[in-house]
Structure 1
Amino acid sequence: MKKRVFLTRTLQDFALKILKEKYQVEIHSGKIPIPVTKLRSKIKEIEGLICFPYDIINKETIECAKNLKVISTYSVGFDHIDTKYAKKKKIRVGYTPEVLTDATADLAFSLLLDISRRISEGDRIIREGKWKEIFGASDYVGIDLQGKTIGILGLGRIGGTLAKRAKAFDMKILYHNRKHVSKSKENALNAKYVSFEKLVSQSDFISIHVPHTKETNHLFNMEIFKKMKKSAFLINTSRGKVVNEKDLTIALRKKIISGAGLDVFESEPIKKNHPLTKLQNIVLAPHIGSSTKETRIKMAEITVKNLILGMNQKKPTYSVGY
C-alpha cells in the first residue's frame, strides 16, 4: 500500500504527477490557509506533509503526528514550522532557498524604483482621470538613485543579490548583519558594514532581508522611523511582522519618512480598507516575491524532491536541523 502524503494546497500538474506515482496523495481544496483543526486531523494519518509559509506547523500540530517522516515547505522561510520540535520527533524538514533569490531581489528593487519614481502613483492618477495637464518643472518629481545610499538589513542570498542591482545603479551600499560577511564579498559588492543604528540613520533606502524571530518582531517601529531620514524609504520583502504596520501608517501619513514599498504584511491577505491602502506614498504588492513562472517551477521541483528524500529516511536537499 502506498504511503500517504497530504498537501495543504495544490502544486503544478507535473509535481502532482510525480507524487501520485509514488504515494497516496490528498490535497486540501478548501479555505486557505487550511484550518488548524483539519490540518491536525490529517497530520495524524500521513507520512509526508507539503505545506506553505502561511501554514502554522507548531508544536501542538506536530504532536498530533503519529507516523510523519517529513515536512516539505514550499518556501524559503521556515519560521512557520517548529523545527526544534520536529527534530526532537525525528521529522525531517525541507525548504526551498536559493531558487527564489533573483526573483525576490528583483521585486525588492522594483519596489524601490517604483516608490522613488512614483510609478504606481502616476498610474492611479491617470486611471482616476486626474492628469489634467502636462507637468511643469517642479510638478510630480521623483528622485534619482545614483549616488543615493541603500541600507541592506541582512546581506544573505537575497540581500547580496539586491546589492548587485544597487551597484549597477551607482548606489552606495551599507549593510548590517549579525556578523560581517567576507572581505571578498564586501569588495565584490562594494558594500560597507555598519551598525544597525548607522544603517537606519544614514540610508536613503532601507531594504529588509531578515527572518521573523522574537528579536526581529516589530523591529521597525516608530522609534526607528524617527531615526530614519525624513527623505528615506522602507522596502520589505522578507516577513510582514518585522514591521509594525500601525506605526508605519502613522510615519507615512505624518511624513516622518517619505515612503515605503511592501510585499509582505503582518496578516495576509490585507483588505481593501486596510489603513495602508489609503496612503499615496506607499507601493503595495500581494506577496509575490518568488512569483515568476521559472522560480515557482523550481520551487515545486525542490519541494517534491525534499519530500521524497525525507520519505525515504534521507536528508532533504535543503534541510533544517535533522
Structure 2
Amino acid sequence: MSQTLHFFIEDSLLYAEEFFSGLGKITRFKGREVTADEIKDADFLLTRSTTKVNENLLNKCTKLQFVGTATAGYNHIDADYLASVNIPWLPASGCNADAVCDYVLSSAFNLANKYGFELKEKKIGIVGVGQIGSRLVKRFGALGCEVVEYDPVRAESDPSYTSSEFEQILECDLITCHVPYVKTGKHATHHLFNLDTLNKLKPRTILINACRGEVVNNKELLTAFEQGIDLRVVLDVFENEPQIELGLLPYLEFGTPHIAGHSLEGKARGTEILYKLICERLNLPVEIKLEDLLPSMALDHMVVTDNYKLSQRQYRALINLVYDIRNDDIDFRMGLAQNSESFDRLRKEYSIRRELTSLNLTCDQSLFKTFTDLGFKTKLK
C-alpha cells in the first residue's frame, strides 16, 4: 500500500488492534460522542450500534472508502445517505447468531426441566429462518424435535425453500421469533403476536422473543396474562426500550435486557467479519484468526464416555455449564427492582458470556453429530 490507511474504530470493538494494526493507523472514538471533525480523515469507519452513521457524522469525510458495523443489526446506519454519496457499507451478518441460539436452547432446556417434559416430544415453531433460525432448525433437529419453519420472505426469494403457514406456527408447543422489524406491508412483523394470535396458542405454549420487541404487542400480552392466559413467555426484547412494560415481569418465565446476542465470541466475531471484508477489498490475505485470540474457559475440554447415551438433564447441564439463562433473569429482576429505569444500564454493564463453541467435547461417533449440531466444538476420539 502506497500510503498509510487510517482506521477510525469505535471503542467498543473487541480485538480491533489485533486485527487492524497491520493494515494501517488506528484511532479509537466513543460512539455516542464522536463528531464529524473527529473522523474527517477516515479511510475506514468501523462501528457498533452506538454510533449513528449519517450525513451529520460523515459530511467532512473526503476519502472514506468503507463503513462497517460489527453488529448484525444496522438501524444506526443511514443506508440511503451512504448510497447517495457512493460509500459502500456492510454489517457483520450472523456474528451473534450462535449466541442467540444458545440463549434459546438454555431457555428451552431449563423450562423443560422446570415443567417436566421432554423436548424431543415437542413441536418447535421457528419464525424467521435466516442466520439464527436456520441454526435453530439444526439444533432442535439434533434433539429429535419436529420443527416447523415460517419464513415467507425467504420463500419468495429462494425457490428451493418452502415456508409453512403462520397458522401452523400457532399450533406449535414452543415458538421462537427471529425476524427483522417490518412495520407495514405484505410480510409485516409489527405485532405479529397480539391478543388475537396469543389467544390462538395452545395452553402452556412457550413463546420466546429474542429479535425485536415490536414483534410481540407487550400491552396486549399483559392484557392476555391478566385475563388468565396460560403461556410460558421468555422476553429478551421489549417494546419501547428502555421504558419497558414492567407489569409483564411477574408473568415472564425469563426476562433479560436485550442481551441474547451478547457473547464474547459474538462481539469479537463482528470485528473478525469486518477484518475479512476489508482484506478482501484491499486484496490482502487473511492472516489473523479469531480462535487464536480468544481466551480459554476455566473448563474448556470434556471427554464423553464411549457409547454413552445422554439424558435430557445431562444435555441441559452441559449447556448451562456455558450459559444458564436463569442467572441473567435473576440479575434483570434484581436490577429493575432496585431502579425501574435501569434497563439501559443493565444492558450496557452486562458481563459478556461465552458460547457453546468455547466448550470442546471429545466423544465417539455416536454423539459427534448431535454435539456438533447443538453448537459445541466437537472432536472425535
* Same fold flag (TM > 0.5): yes
Give the structure 2 partner of residue 34 of structure 1.
Answer: 32
Deviates more, 1:150-159 or 1:167-176: 167-176
TM-score (norm 1): 0.70
C-alpha deviation, 1:162, in angstroms = 0.7
C-alpha deviation, 1:296, in angstroms = 3.7
Whether 2:234 is the aligned partner of 1:261: answer: yes
Paired letter, 1:10: S
C-alpha deviation, 1:105, in angstroms = 1.7
C-alpha deviation, 1:44, in angstroms = 4.4
Give the structure 1 partner of residue 305 of structure 2.
Answer: none
Give the structure 1 partner of residue 64 of structure 2.
Answer: 68
Map 1:1-322; keep pairs closer than 5 Å. 2-13=4-15, 15-29=16-30, 34-35=32-33, 38-40=34-36, 42-58=38-54, 61=57, 65-118=61-114, 141-178=115-152, 179-180=154-155, 193-199=163-169, 201-214=170-183, 215-266=188-239, 270=242, 275=246, 278-307=249-278, 312=282
Structure 1 residues 278 and 294: alpha-carbon distance in aligned structure 2, compared to 1, 3 A threshold = closer
Structure 1 residues 149 and 64: alpha-carbon distance in aligned structure 2, compared to 1, 3 A threshold = farther
Task: Please give the alpha-carbon distance, in whole angstroms, between the structure 2 residues aligned to 1:249 and 1:169.
Answer: 32
Listed as ranges, the gaps of 5+ residues in structure 2 are 285-381
Structure 1 residues 156 and 22: alpha-carbon distance in aligned structure 2, compared to 1, 3 A threshold = closer
C-alpha deviation, 1:159, in angstroms = 0.9
Cα deviation code 1:66-98 (max 9, x no counterpart): 443211111122343232432232111122234
Task: Please give the alpha-carbon distance, in whole angstroms, between the structure 2 residues aligned to 1:2 and 1:263.
Answer: 43
Cα deviation code 1:105-149 (max 9, x no counterpart): 22222222233434xxxxxxxxxxxxxxxxxxxxxx444323222
Structure 1 residues 3 and 267: alpha-carbon distance in aligned structure 2, compared to 1, 3 A threshold = farther
Task: Please give the alpha-carbon distance, in whole angstroms, between the structure 2 residues aligned to 1:59 and 1:256.
Answer: 47
Secondary structure, aligned partner of 1:180 = helix
Question: Does the 8 A contact of 2:32 with 2:50 survive in 1?
Answer: no
C-alpha deviation, 1:208, in angstroms = 0.9
Paired letter, 2:179: V
Give the structure 2 partner of residue 319 of structure 1.
Answer: none
Secondary structure, aligned partner of 1:71 = strand
Task: Please give the alpha-carbon distance, in whole angstroms, between the structure 1 residues aligned to 2:227 and 2:59.
Answer: 47
Task: Please give the alpha-carbon distance, in whole angstroms, between the structure 2 residues aligned to 1:2 and 1:266.
Answer: 45
Secondary structure, aligned partner of 2:119 = coil
Paired letter, 1:110: S
Task: Please give the alpha-carbon distance, in whole angstroms, between the structure 2 residues aligned to 1:150 and 1:297.
Answer: 30
Structure 1 residues 23 and 265: alpha-carbon distance in aligned structure 2, compared to 1, 3 A threshold = farther
Cα deviation code 1:172-193 (max 9, x no counterpart): 211111243979877xxxxxx4
Higher relative contact order (CA 8 A, sep 6+): 1
Question: Does the 8 A contact of 1:57 with 1:80 survive in 2?
Answer: yes
Question: How many aligned positions are there?
Answer: 277
Across the aligned residues of Structure 1 and Structure 2, the Cα RMSD in angstroms comes to: 3.5
Question: Does the 8 A contact of 1:51 with 1:72 survive in 2?
Answer: yes
Paired letter, 2:166: F
Task: Please give the alpha-carbon distance, in whole angstroms, between the structure 2 residues aligned to 1:64 and 1:220.
Answer: 44
Question: Does the 8 A contact of 1:112 with 1:235 survive in 2?
Answer: no
C-alpha deviation, 1:3, in angstroms = 4.1
Secondary structure, aligned partner of 2:221 = helix
C-alpha deviation, 1:258, in angstroms = 1.2
Identity %: 27
Listed as ranges, the gaps of 5+ residues in structure 1 are 119-140, 187-192, 315-322
Question: Does the 8 A contact of 1:79 with 1:211 survive in 2?
Answer: no
Task: Please give the alpha-carbon distance, in whole angstroms, between the structure 1 residues aligned to 2:252 and 2:53.
Answer: 36
Secondary structure, aligned partner of 1:197 = helix
